[in-house]
């Protein structure tokens, strides 16, 4: 009997001990889950400023109860004391609540996991890829998605069509990461649409003088205000369309009444005979040197006029002197390397190229206010071609796709051009810190370049006095420029008459006309190059 009692007691004690251990384990599990949630909530709060601010605000509750502790502790009711001590763990409960909040990353993870499961896209471990990071670029709209999995990169690439449909993305590239398990996908969202073909239409021409449109992005047109950002660099590999952009910009400025010079050392092939009807096409080093020297001198004269008239820029000056406006001058350089690369040339040519480089740098630095704008094209960017002066003073960068990331780095100061889709006319636009992807207008010379339209514009701009300040390139055998220019600029300073009795001030600024006569232009040039061009002001 004693034996049975002893055995029964052991069983009871064992049951009690097991129950107690179970309770302890449950409490431990609850605490483990609780603090796991606290840690997860803190991790989410650390990435979200609003949630993190809420975490700090949650400390106000225990602080307030501590200040009013007498109210809770003096009262004899026991649950008041429980409430008092419970307030001190409110921040922990806040973190637990935050841990259950679904953020974008959680939703994105769930969407990807579901998409992979539907495709049965699993690795050798029978697990779907895990999202490691998602980097969104709102400018280019090219996202960088990093996954970790046991799936070979070859399998990833073979699944591109299925992945694009399932994930609702357009995949640009799939690359290996730092390890064999890491895969980096460059893609665009399925709803991110840029036209793949965008023909030019004159309806896009802006009414504001000096503002041009080069293409369209996701949200609208890409505009460049040359009054604020005076120079443009357009870079791209052969066939990318960089020269098409330059001609599109040139056309818009011609329609706005600008004066055009085009520099093309490839025999003027890029700018055909039709372009020679509306401006000068410079094809030789000698002519280019004279052109850029003239432009530097013209820039100095304009700066003097702005200073003496109290104008900050060409826009202010033209408002003050209606009828005697300074014309905008656009200089299009089809290939900058032809001006900057001095490899393999003789000493005389080298000296001329050095001077041209100096003139170009001067214009890039000093012509912001004077309305002399450089539009520069480059096919093979390197430090010798895009010098520090050019890079620092040409604010607008337009860049097509480059397989070489170094070329992208030189033009854009980032490697984003390497990730551009292989779509003809697709470019990146950078002004300041932002880089934006866009589709450039397709400007077809045969359809869109009509010199007669430019003649009509110039007729509308003509004043009673026709002025001509062209630098003409002789088309003779030696192709040199022979300019006998006579310039007479008489500036009569302000005359101020003050009448003390009437308290009135009269200010007169008289500026005599700038007369430039080009005496020696060959008959061939007249016939072939400037037929029907008319005369217009080059001030």
Binding site as annotated, residues: 236-243
What are the φ and ψ backbone dihedral angles of 330, each rounded to 5 degrees?
Answer: -110, 125
Please answer whether residues 75 and 65 qualify as being in contact, where contact means their C-beta atoms are separated by less than 8 angstroms.
no
Question: SS3 of 134, please?
Answer: strand
In whole angstroms, what is the distance from residue 164 CA to residue 188 CA?
Answer: 10
8 Å CB contact between 467 and 539 = yes
Alpha helices in 326-427 (DSSP H): 337-340, 347-366, 388-393, 405-412
**Which conformational region is residue 63 in: left (phi greater than 0), alpha (psi within -120 to 50 degrees), or beta?**
alpha
Sign of CA dihedral 215, 221, 227, 233: negative
Please tell me the distance from the alpha carbon of residue 464 to that of residue 3, in angstroms, as a whole number.
133
List binding-site positions for ATP.
Answer: 236-243
The DSSP code for 535 is -
- Residue 446: which H helix or E strand, with range? helix 445-448
**Exposure pattern of 485-517 as b/e (b: 16+ CB <10 Å)?**
eeeeeeeeeeeeeeeeeeeeeeeeeeeeebebe
Kindly provide the residue ranges of all beta strands, DSSP E only, lying in 177-296, ordered along the sequence.
182-189, 211-216, 221-225, 232-235, 259-263, 280-282
> Which backbone phi and psi does 174 adopt, to 5 degrees?
-125, 120
- Alpha-helix residue ranges (DSSP H) falling in 48-141: 49-57, 60-67, 69-73, 78-86, 90-99, 104-119
Whole-number Cα distances in Å, 505 to 492, 493, 497: 17, 15, 6
Which long-range CB contacts under 8 A does 447-451 form with residues at least 24 apart? 448/200, 448/202, 448/251, 449/247, 449/251, 449/274, 449/275, 451/274, 451/277, 451/278, 451/532
Report phi then psi at 4, rounded to 5. -65, -40
Which element (helix H / strand E) includes 327?
none
Q: Euclidean distance between the first and final Cα of the chain, in Å?
A: 127
Q: In 310-393, which ranges are continuous DSSP H helix?
A: 314-320, 337-340, 347-366, 388-393
Enumerate helices (H) and strands (E) in the chain, giving the number of each: 20, 16
Which element (helix H / strand E) includes 438?
Answer: strand 434-440
Max Cα distance, the chain (Å): 140
Helix (H, G, I), strand (E, B) or coil at 187: strand
């Amino acid at each position: 009997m004693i034996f049975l009692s002893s055995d029964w007691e052991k069983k009871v004690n064992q049951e009690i001990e097991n129950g107690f251990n179970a309770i302890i384990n449950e409490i431990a599990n609850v605490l483990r889950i609780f603090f796991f949630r606290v840690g997860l909530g803190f991790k989410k709060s650390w990435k979200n400023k609003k949630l993190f601010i809420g975490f700090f605000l949650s400390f106000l509750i225990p602080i307030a109860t501590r200040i009013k502790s007498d109210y809770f502790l003096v009262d004899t009711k026991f649950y008041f004391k429980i409430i008092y001590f419970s307030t001190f763990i409110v921040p922990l409960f806040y973190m637990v609540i935050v841990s259950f909040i679904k953020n974008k990353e959680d939703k994105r993870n769930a969407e990807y996991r579901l998409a992979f499961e539907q495709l049965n896209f699993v690795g050798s471990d029978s697990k779907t890829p895990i999202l490691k990071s998602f980097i969104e670029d709102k400018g280019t709209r090219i996202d960088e998605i990093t996954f970790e999995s046991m799936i070979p990169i070859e399998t990833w690439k073979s699944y591109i069509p299925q992945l694009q449909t399932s994930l609702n993305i357009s995949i640009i590239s799939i690359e290996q990461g730092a390890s064999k398990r890491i895969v980096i996908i460059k893609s665009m969202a399925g709803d991110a649409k840029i036209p793949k073909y965008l023909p030019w239409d004159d309806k896009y021409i802006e009414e504001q003088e000096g503002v041009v449109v080069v293409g369209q992005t996701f949200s609208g047109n890409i505009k460049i205000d040359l009054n604020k950002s005076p120079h443009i660099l357009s870079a791209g590999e052969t066939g990318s369309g960089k020269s098409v952009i330059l001609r599109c910009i040139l056309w818009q400025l011609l329609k706005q009444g600008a004066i055009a010079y085009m520099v093309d050392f490839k025999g003027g092939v890029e700018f055909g005979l039709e372009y020679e009807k509306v401006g000068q096409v410079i094809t030789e080093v000698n002519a280019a040197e004279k052109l850029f020297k003239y432009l530097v001198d013209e820039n100095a004269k304009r700066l003097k006029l702005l200073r003496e008239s109290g104008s900050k820029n060409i826009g202010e000056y033209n408002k003050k002197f209606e009828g005697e406006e300074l014309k905008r001058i656009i200089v299009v350089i089809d290939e900058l390397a032809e001006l900057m690369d001095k490899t393999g040339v003789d000493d005389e040519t080298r000296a001329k190229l050095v001077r041209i480089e100096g003139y170009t740098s001067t214009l890039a630095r000093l012509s912001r206010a004077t309305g002399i704008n450089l539009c520069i094209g480059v096919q093979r960017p390197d430090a010798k071609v895009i010098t520090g002066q050019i890079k620092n003073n040409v604010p607008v960068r337009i860049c097509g796709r480059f397989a070489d990331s170094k070329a992208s780095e030189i033009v854009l100061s980032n490697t984003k051009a390497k990730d551009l889709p292989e779509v003809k006319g697709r470019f990146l636009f950078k002004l300041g810190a932002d880089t934006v992807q866009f589709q450039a207008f397709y400007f077809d010379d045969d359809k869109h370049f009509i010199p007669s339209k430019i003649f009509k514009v110039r007729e509308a701009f003509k004043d009673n006095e026709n002025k001509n300040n062209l630098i003409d390139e002789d088309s003779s055998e030696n192709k040199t420029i022979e300019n006998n220019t006579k310039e007479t600029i008489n500036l009569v300073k302000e005359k101020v008459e003050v009448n003390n009795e009437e308290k009135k001030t009269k200010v007169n600024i008289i500026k005599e006309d700038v007369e430039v006569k080009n005496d020696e232009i060959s008959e061939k040039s007249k016939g072939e190059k400037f037929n029907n061009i008319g005369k217009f002001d080059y001030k």
